[in-house]
Chains A and B, each alone.
Chain A
Amino acid sequence: MDIPYTVAVRRDTGLNNGKIGIWLFLASEVMLFGALFASYILIRTGSPSWPRGDTVLDYRLATFNTIVLITSSVTMVMAWASLMRRRFGTFRMYMAATVLLGGVFLVVKYFEYSHHLHLGEYPSHSNFFAIYYTLTGLHMLHVLGGMVVNAYFWGPGAKLYETNPVWFTNRVEHSGLFWHFVDLVWIFLFPTLYLL
């Protein structure tokens, strides 16, 4: 049985179902991270003292990771643009770069976490580290999830391109929307946790 409206647009929404679905999902994600940002504000403003992020965290590593994630957003959108131009080889190159850059982000995060855990700075160490691990940990899970989906479209999922290139292009666009959202969240997490 065919899944309806994967390519054709619905008359009532003017969109295919995948597009409206991913945007509704992202709306719920905004509220999820919004709740955690609100918690951060509540904990920080209610605390008698709060460390500046760069006195306890390595802002240089986080700056590097910001550059990595922004670059991966560009490679992601270029992957989609390559499909729109019907250049499958270029798509695979950009998609591979996106997945690899996501991997670089996670490796840097691993070293960052290892360093803090080695110093005994667990989530129970302070309110700062509790919210730091919660926010960055949830974000890291999103990076991992996005990488898995993107790797699927780079590998086995790419078979769809042979039979239905427009549907495949739509799928890549939707996974790209998620990936850009992950980048967007980091754009706010970076100054909030590491610089202020």
Chain B
Amino acid sequence: MSDHAATSDHDDHAGHDPADIDKHVRVYIMVFVALMVLTIVTVAVSRFHLSVPVAVSVALLVATIKGALVASYFMHLMSEKKLILAVMALTVAFFIVLLALPVLTHSNGYWIPQPAGETPAHEAPAHPQ
């Protein structure tokens, strides 16, 4: 069957009547306002010159909330099919592993069990003679 012959009842937009879209538009406006407020919050908090760990935590928390709003509402992840959600959940899991790699690198291998009598990598001298 040609795709052109498919009716809108069989496409991804099934169930989006005009009233439904009007409701969506109101949500978009609210999300827009929330994103603007959170942008101001991000900049305002940075003006307090907090310690680096606190500043990083706050900035990433606010950025994560903003990112979640964009993904959930503008990208419609809230109402997306399970297959898309599964793909993105897998992606996020790998993304977290990717970001954890530098942290593991800096911990210098302390989590690796060492045989008795051997010096753990992180306690070994930097330039053994």
Contacts and interface: CB of A to CB of B under 8 A. Distances in A.
Given A2-B2, A5-B3, A8-B6, A180 B102 contact: no
B34 to A, nearest CB: 10
Interface string A29-61: 011001101110110011000000010000100
Interface stretch (A72-80, A95-103, A110-118, A140-148): A72-80
Contact of B11 (A8, A27, A176): A8
A73 B10 contact: no
Contacts of A108: none
A7 B3 contact: yes
A138 B105 CA distance: 25
| A2, A5, A16, A74 pick with most chain B CB within 10 angstroms | A74
B121 interface: no
A106 interface: no
Interface residues of A, number: 63
Given A20-B84, A27-B91, A46-B106, A9 B39 contact: no
Interface residues of B, number: 56
B102 A81 contact: no
Contacts, number: 159
Contacts of A78: 25, 28
A177 interface: yes
B13 to A, nearest CB: 7
B110 interface: no
B127 interface: no
Closest A-B pairs by Cβ, 6 of them: A8-B6, A191-B59, A42-B102, A195-B46, A27-B91, A41-B102
Given A2-B3, A74-B28, A74-B32, 9 more contacts: A7-B10, A14-B82, A15-B81, A41-B103, A42-B106, A78-B25, A81-B21, A167-B3, A187-B63
